[in-house]
Chain A
Amino acid sequence: MQELIIQTKNLNFNFAQQKVLNQLSLEVPKGGIYGFLGPNGSGKTTTIKLLLNLLKSDEKNIFLFGKELQENRTEILKKIGSLVEQPAIYPHLTGYENLKTRALLLQVSKSKINKILDIVGLTDAANKKSEKYSLGMKQRLGIGLALLDDPELLILDEPTNGLDPNGIIEIRHLIKDLAANHQKTIFISSHLLAEIERIATHVGIINKGKMLFQGNIHELHSLKTSLICIETNDNEAAQSILKSKYPSLSLNGHLEIPFESLEQMGFINHHLIQNDLIVYSIYKQKKDLESLFLDITNA
């Protein structure tokens, strides 16, 4: 069995009377990139804050590197670099000085600061005040701060939030590079499925504090169902003809029926023609992850 870097066992959390996390069991394996996916307000940041011991939980059911978090807080945090919500940067300091402030606390050498600036592509902007950085540069500096102590695990909360397409691509490349060339385990949260699909090796989908799906990216892909799309000269008539046999049929400008087999497609075509309808088109379409995500989170 694969070693788990993060494990929560039926984690619950409430803000006042509101239940934010409900029996959440995370299992993040060592290596690779775990995409923690969910709509805004689904409990992603709360989960991350619990993993970092920023929020207090009475239950002792959070384990990182195989150890219980509250009992081993400092030891565990030594192996984690994190970026929670917006990057925490002192605006009056330069990029270099921001890293140095942290480096002093963590007893990291000056040469390491320069190396980090290089990894996150901020060497040229190192002596510029960080308040003058673009949002993308701030995010990269935030990731640089998280990387400073060479952590085994990087926890990044929505690192592409608010970025333009170029910024998103830059961060995506950086994260892939960190996993592939620097052997980090990366736990990344996002509400953008397309973003996670591009980089993650494992995915957890959360909604309203509940884990709806957890597995590797291939397992998620295998959940993708296909549809038969049909256009005729009279879609409503076609609907009433097929309704009894395919109750899950839907009409969205064209008819959609869950795909079963090629024979099924042939049968439908034949059946419609026999009923004097003209079939303009009939084709198989794979349901994309976006609609799968919506199906899962709206279920």
Chain B
Amino acid sequence: MKTFLLSLHSEYYKTRKTLAFWGAIVLPVFLCTVVFIGYYIKADDVMKKLAKVPPIAIWGQYSFAIVGVMGTLLLPMYLVFMTYSVNNIEHKADTWKSLFSLPIPKWKIYYSKALYTVLLITLSMLLFVGLTLAYGYILGWLKPQLTLQNADMAKVTSYLAVIYLKMFLASLGIISIQFLMSLVWKDFLKPMGIGFLLLVTAMIVLKWEYSYLIPFTHPIKALMSSSGKEVEILTKEVWVSFAYAAVFFTAGYFIVIKKSVK
């Protein structure tokens, strides 16, 4: 356990000055800030359209401006980018051979890297929740006409937390597939190209009854199935995402154990 934690620490130490780490922070900060600025400037216009809407629904509108863009458009490509960035540090420096010649079991190197990637995406999701709430709170204070300050914050927080948790769980399948491709291939075009093709395919077949079997549909489906008062977390696309993650993270282990480092 200790060497596993040390591997995680080492991953953080070497990525902390790279886009792999900052990517997890930049995206939520950028997106949430843009939406905040938009609502700040257009507060009166927003309220003209939503004059009689309760504060909780205004929160819904405001947070969907972020989560909608994130979940439908950005998240899958963001996952492609993040999984590649973590592995690219080793590809770029040609350090796989030195990592795998250390007296550390190969599975620890593999799983600490995979877990670190998952943790970065967790950090990103947490920042989305935190920044959405913080900016919303500031908006309520700066633009009282938005009535955001009148909502039940406990409800808003739990709703946002559940949605992002569900999106995160629905992303695990994509993470596992993209992580494996990025680990095996040095060339960014391969995981990026295949990831992009899978995403386009997912968009085309989104309404097909078995489309939940395609991992790139999972974040969108997770978001689509989150409307309503009670959000069910473990919907079928989340279960399929778990299954993909189990299969691909295990396959990655066997590939790493058997693979020669050239």
Contact = CB atoms under 8 A, between A and B. Distances in A.
Interface string A90-111: 1111000100111011110000
A62 to B, nearest CB: 14
Interface string B27-69: 0000000000000000000000000000000000000000000
Nearest to A157: B97
Given A54-B100, A88-B99, A92-B18, 10 more contacts: A49-B262, A52-B97, A54-B261, A82-B101, A97-B13, A101-B14, A102-B10, A102-B102, A105-B3, A105-B102
A54 B104 contact: no
A90 B97 contact: no
A76 B101 CA distance: 10
Contacts of A149: 103
Contact of A55 (B6, B9, B105, B261): B261
Given A55-B261, A56-B260, A92-B17, A106 B102 contact: yes
Nearest to A81: B101
Contacts of A104: 6, 9-10, 13
Contacts of A118: none
Interface in A61-94: 74-78, 80, 82, 84-86, 88-93
A136 B140 CA distance: 60
A174 B93 CA distance: 24
5 contacts: A52-B97, A74-B103, A82-B101, A92-B18, A102-B10
Nearest to A87: B98
> Which interface residue of A53, A85, A104, A145 has the most chain B CB atoms within 10 A?
A104
B98 A88 contact: yes
Interface of B: 3, 6-7, 9-10, 13-14, 17-18, 89, 92-95, 97-105, 258-262
Interface string A103-131: 01111000000000000000000000000
A104 B98 CA distance: 14
Contact of B93 (A49, A56, A80, A91): A91
A171 to B, nearest CB: 18
Contacts of B102: 77, 102, 105-106
Nearest to B5: A104
B239 to A, nearest CB: 36
A296 B166 CA distance: 68
A76 B93 CA distance: 25
- In the complex, the 5 A-B pairs of residues with the closest C-beta atoms, listed nearest first: A88-B98, A77-B103, A78-B103, A88-B95, A54-B261
Contacts of B89: 90
Given A104-B9, A107-B6, A88 B93 contact: yes
Contacts of B258: 56
B95 A74 contact: no
B6 A105 contact: yes
A90 B95 contact: yes
Interface of A: 49, 52-56, 74-78, 80, 82, 84-86, 88-93, 97, 100-102, 104-107, 145, 149
> Which interface residue of A84, A92, A97 has the most chain B CB atoms within 10 A?
A92
Given A55-B261, A101-B14, A77 B93 contact: no
B101 A145 contact: no
Contact of A105 (B7, B17, B97): B7
Contact of A75 (B13, B95, B103): B103
B14 to A, nearest CB: 5
A49 to B, nearest CB: 7
A90 B14 contact: yes
Contacts of A92: 17-18
B186 to A, nearest CB: 14
B172 to A, nearest CB: 26
A93 B6 contact: no
Contacts of A78: 103
Contacts of A54: 97, 100-101, 260-261
Nearest to B100: A54
B143 to A, nearest CB: 42
A298 to B, nearest CB: 29
Contacts of B92: 91
Nearest to B92: A91
A100 B14 CA distance: 9
Contact of B97 (A56, A75, A76, A88): A88
A80 B98 CA distance: 11
B13 A100 contact: yes
Contact of B104 (A56, A74, A84, A90): A74
Contacts of B104: 74, 105
Nearest to A149: B103
A76 B92 CA distance: 28
A257 B261 CA distance: 49
A53 B97 CA distance: 10
A230 to B, nearest CB: 52
B98 A84 contact: yes
